[in-house]
């Protein structure tokens, strides 16, 4: 009898969904002093959990549960079961615990599987995609998304006489999951997820936690996925619980029956993340293979980078912070045709626009440069966490070859970005780039420099360069030719370049 091949898995943080019901009769009948103590100790406990005061790492969040199944949800992610166990018992020592009963709970652990990348589990294979490694890390150690609404449900894969998931060959299972994930791409930026495995830990095989600002986005996504064979043939679900996030400081308002979350409460302090496993998978997140990452360049923020930025500023160039002056930039390069790339990006951008943190997403095509010039996708966000999430979605675009900031090991990059050229000087700007490109071609350590323009606005451009080393690039920045170019730019640009992105 043939034994089907299971996917390899790697586990990360343990996850506890701790559902509590409030004894409202006891709460109403308690003296004011006792209720005040319960609120104070409850706030201290929840705030300490969200600050991860008693563990090396992790995440926690507090939610008001909708409906009769519970009143309060405290969601914990921690590196060890000891951390989880301690949090449970610490709650029982608060005055708040006296007024609660545990309505339900679910224990699981974050995981990635071989459906995502078999090379990741092959000791002899080299995973050269640093973006993939960072994406896997984000699934093993996720952040709780910055969304108000949560929907949690457990699920298992069906083992019935007609449809048995575990009797399917590995490749067929992988295809089901890949096709299932395609649906989630349409909800990028609107629904995010944490998926964790619970085989041997709880009653079902996975726990699915979906996050969004609009509950109907979650509803529409789940409804659409019901028609996908991965769900219709092979998924069995437990009960669904819905909740709304509020900061610990609003606990008193929650217990008083007032609106939560309230203005002026503690900041959530959380971002976006992804999920994984043999489960439904990809509920609004990007697909299986990710070239993108957190949008950061390796090594930024250290003393050497600070010295570099200071030196550039001394010669009249604002080098910005790792991501930019007042935005966080994700830049990915693609070998795909720019027009085809734009069609894909435009769909993602509509979803990104649902978020106030989204500044801009655009496709840039090569305007001048070498024969190996590539199109680029630039996505700007107000926060680093939002940029990190966007990087995961964008990494599934066609023919992505690299992300700015990925450590290529033997080279160093810069991007002079956001050159908004006065329309009457556009030709002058392009001609000057040609002159500078000629100088660069003769410089030691220079590899390539390309001029790219926004597919939707020919006056919006940026310049991308690659060098053998940081010092080779600095030799150009210190040159008279560069100083003259900076002076020229002041006359032809409509506004100051937002930053030089050091990749």
Domain identity same for 62 and 156: yes
CATH number of the domain to which 140 belongs: 3.30.70.1030
Domain identity same for 367 and 498: yes
Mean pLDDT throughout 484-497? 78
Predicted confidence band at 317 (pLDDT cuts at 50, 70, 90)? low
Domain count, the chain: 2
Which pLDDT score, from 0 to 100, does residue 51 have? 96
Is residue 142 within a helix (H) or strand (E), and if so which, with residue range? none
Cβ pair 421, 495 in contact under 8 A: no
Domain identity same for 332 and 481: yes
* Catalytic entry in 45, 135, 153, 364: 153
Q: 0.75 exceeded by the pTM?
A: no
Buried/exposed code over 427-453 (b: 16+ C-beta within 10 A; e: otherwise): eebbebbeebbeebeeeebbebbbbbb
Which pLDDT score, from 0 to 100, does residue 294 have? 32
Mean pLDDT throughout 293-308? 45
Q: How far apart are CA 449 and CA 422, in angstroms?
A: 22
Which pLDDT score, from 0 to 100, does residue 266 have? 39
Q: How far apart are CA 118 and CA 8, in angstroms?
A: 8
Mean of per-residue pLDDT scores for the chain? 82
Our answer to whether residue 153 is catalytic in this structure is yes
Closest Cα partner for 121 from 7, 38, 226? Answer: 7
Longest Cα separation, the chain: 83
CA 59-391-342 angle, to 5 degrees, is 150
Domain assignment present for residue 285? The answer is: no
Domain identity same for 226 and 342: no
Domain assignment present for residue 281? The answer is: no
| Residue with token string 């949800």 | 73
Q: How far apart are CA 441 and CA 429, in angstroms?
A: 18
Mean pLDDT throughout 306-332? 66
Q: Which residue has the higher pLDDT, 120 or 387?
A: 387
Domain assignment present for residue 270? The answer is: no
Predicted confidence band at 267 (pLDDT cuts at 50, 70, 90)? very low
pLDDT higher than 90, residue 152:
yes
Domain identity same for 339 and 480: yes
Q: How far apart are CA 228 and CA 475, in angstroms?
A: 56
pLDDT higher than 70, residue 453:
yes
Domain identity same for 243 and 380: no
Domain assignment present for residue 264? The answer is: no
Mean pLDDT throughout 81-90? 97
Q: Which residue has the higher pLDDT, 112 or 254?
A: 254
Q: How far apart are CA 307 and CA 178, in angstroms?
A: 45
Which of 255, 272, 289 is the last residue in one of the domains? 255
Which of 255, 288, 319 is the last residue in one of the domains? 255
Which pLDDT score, from 0 to 100, does residue 77 have? 98
Please give the radius of gyration of the chain, using alpha carbons only, rounded to the nearest integer: 26
Q: How far apart are CA 295 and CA 327, in angstroms?
A: 12
> Mean pLDDT highest for which of 74-83, 228-237, 364-373?
74-83
Domain that holds residue 497: 303-502
Which pLDDT score, from 0 to 100, does residue 273 have? 32
Which pLDDT score, from 0 to 100, does residue 303 have? 58
Which pLDDT score, from 0 to 100, does residue 44 have? 97
Q: Which residue has the higher pLDDT, 159 or 14?
A: 14
Q: Which residue has the higher pLDDT, 278 or 433?
A: 433
- Give just the sign of the alpha carbon dihedral 378, 382, 388, 389: negative
Domain identity same for 251 and 315: no
Domain identity same for 357 and 460: yes
Domain assignment present for residue 220? The answer is: yes
pLDDT higher than 70, residue 255:
yes
User: Which residues does residue 195 pair with via DSSP β-bridges, in sequence order?
Assistant: 208
Domain assignment present for residue 378? The answer is: yes
Residue 379 token pair: 């996505």
pLDDT digits (tens, 9 = 90+) for 34-64: 999 999 999 999 999 999 999 999 999 999 9
Domain assignment present for residue 406? The answer is: yes
Domain identity same for 49 and 139: yes
Q: By mean pLDDT, which of 30-39, 275-284, 365-374 is the weakest? A: 275-284
pLDDT higher than 60, residue 270:
no
pLDDT higher than 60, residue 91:
yes
Domain identity same for 337 and 251: no
Closest Cα partner for 178 from 114, 125, 108? Answer: 114
CATH number of the domain to which 331 belongs: 3.30.70.100
Domain identity same for 80 and 157: yes
Q: Which residue has the higher pLDDT, 287 or 400?
A: 400
pLDDT digits (tens, 9 = 90+) for 163-191: 999 899 888 988 888 887 778 777 877 89
pLDDT higher than 50, residue 369:
yes
Which pLDDT score, from 0 to 100, does residue 348 have? 86
Domain assignment present for residue 457? The answer is: yes
Domain identity same for 244 and 184: yes
Is residue 413 within a helix (H) or strand (E), and if so which, with residue range? strand 412-420
């Amino acid at each position: 009898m043939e034994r089907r091949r299971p996917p390899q898995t790697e586990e990360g943080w343990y996850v506890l969904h701790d559902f509590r019901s409030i004894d409202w009769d006891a709460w109403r009948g308690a003296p004011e002093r006792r209720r005040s103590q319960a609120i104070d100790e409850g706030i201290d406990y929840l705030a300490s959990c969200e600050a991860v005061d008693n563990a090396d790492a992790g995440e926690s969040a507090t939610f008001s549960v909708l409906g009769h199944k519970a009143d309060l949800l405290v969601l914990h992610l921690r590196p060890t079961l000891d951390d989880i166990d301690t949090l449970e018992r610490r709650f029982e020592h608060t005055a708040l615990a006296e007024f609660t009963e545990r309505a339900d709970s679910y224990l699981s652990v974050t995981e990635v599987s071989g459906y995502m990348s078999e090379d990741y589990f092959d000791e002899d294979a080299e995973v050269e995609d640093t973006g993939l490694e960072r994406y896997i890390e984000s699934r093993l150690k996720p952040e709780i998304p910055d969304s108000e609404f949560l929907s949690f449900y457990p699920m298992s894969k069906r083992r019935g006489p007609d449809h048995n998931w575990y009797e399917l060959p590995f490749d067929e299972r992988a295809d089901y999951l890949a096709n299932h994930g395609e649906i989630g791409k349409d909800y990028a930026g609107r629904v995010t997820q944490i998926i964790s495995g619970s085989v041997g830990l709880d009653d079902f095989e996975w726990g699915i936690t979906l996050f969004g600002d609009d509950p109907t986005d979650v509803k529409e996504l789940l409804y659409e996925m019901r028609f996908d064979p991965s769900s219709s043939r092979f998924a069995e679900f437990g009960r669904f619980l819905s909740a709304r996030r509020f900061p610990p400081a609003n606990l008193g308002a929650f217990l008083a029956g007032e609106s939560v979350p309230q203005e002026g409460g503690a900041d959530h302090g959380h971002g976006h993340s992804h999920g994984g496993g043999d489960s439904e998978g990809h509920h609004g997140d990007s697909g299986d293979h990710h070239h993108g990452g957190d949008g950061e360049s390796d090594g930024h923020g250290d003393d050497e980078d600070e010295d570099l930025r200071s030196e550039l500023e001394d010669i009249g160039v604002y080098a910005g912070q790792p991501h930019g002056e007042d935005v966080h930039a994700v830049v990915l390069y693609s070998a795909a045709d720019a027009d085809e790339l734009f069609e894909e990006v435009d769909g993602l951008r509509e979803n990104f626009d649902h978020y106030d943190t989204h500044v801009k997403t655009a496709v840039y095509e090569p305007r001048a440069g070498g024969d190996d010039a590539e199109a680029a996708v630039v996505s700007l966000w107000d926060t680093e966490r939002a940029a990190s999430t966007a990087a995961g979605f964008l990494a599934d675009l066609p023919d992505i070859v690299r992300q700015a900031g990925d450590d290529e090991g033997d080279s160093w990059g810069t991007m002079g970005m956001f050159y908004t050229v006065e329309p009457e000087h556009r030709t002058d700007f392009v001609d000057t780039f040609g002159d500078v490109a000629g100088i660069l071609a003769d410089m030691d350590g220079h590899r390539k420099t390309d001029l790219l323009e926004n597919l939707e606005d020919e006056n919006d451009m940026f310049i991308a360069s690659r060098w053998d080393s940081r010092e080779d690039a600095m030799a150009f920045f210190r040159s008279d030719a560069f100083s003259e170019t900076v002076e020229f730019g002041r006359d032809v640009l409509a506004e100051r370049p937002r930053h030089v992105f050091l990749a």
